Chains A and B, each alone.
Chain A
């Protein structure tokens, strides 16, 4: 039972254009969402997060949008750069879970072409 899904295994974008990565979740108890970036042979690196009390959070070139009614979040990267090429994971947690357990999606491989 996948509670967090990333339906696009890969995405290819031209340098300078917008990259949009999508994530869907099924557990209505989730109220905190994160995006991690992973390069080969490295551990995931935290990118940006959003609480369920917001619908948008922005940090430089990265913006995360949350649509609670649709149980959908997306990560926008503008403009995309070749160094953004990596696997992106979305993750979710429930604040009432004292264990801060993160549930991850399967990842989307982003390729930014020069």
Chain B
């Protein structure tokens, strides 16, 4: 079974530029998550989708971050404009359902904002 796919793996941009990340979850997984992991810290949830609806986006900086999951499968996370403090690894995860379901993570996209 294929795991969670993410692209690109690495991205370097200058501040104030925009960037987008793509995630393809495990087939059949209804729930998709985006996490931000800053160096030396644990992952922090940004947004959670159940199919194509948003379940929780309370920690998403909505002035610059946006995410969508059209058709309830793939998802994109966008940052516009980027700030230096956005430098982090952006992890996508998926699970079959919600309550106490194991989340499976992709390899992440490492973003460096200069």
**Mask of B92-114 contacts with A, CB within 8 angstroms, 1/0:** 01010111111111111000000
Query: Is B77 interfacial (CB-CB < 8 Å)?
Result: no
Report the interface size class on chain B. 20 to 34
Contact (A43, B100) CB under 8 Å given A101-B56, A104-B43: no
On whether the beta carbons of B43 and A51 are closer than 8 Å, the reply is no
In the complex, which residues of chain B have a beta carbon less than 8 angstroms from the beta carbon of A42?
Answer: 107-108
Could you say which residues of chain A place their CB within 8 Å of the CB of B93? 43
Would you call the interface of chain B mostly helix, strand, loop, or mixed? loop
Kindly list 9 other residue pairs between chains A and B, CB separation below 8 angstroms, not including A45-B105, A46-B103: A34-B102, A91-B42, A95-B99, A100-B97, A101-B45, A102-B103, A103-B45, A104-B42, A104-B44
Interface residues of B (CB under 8 A from A): 4, 31, 40-45, 48, 55-56, 91, 93, 95, 97-108
Query: Which residues of A are interface residues toward B (Cβ below 8 A)?
Result: 4, 6, 32, 34, 36, 41-46, 49, 51, 89, 91, 93, 95, 98-107
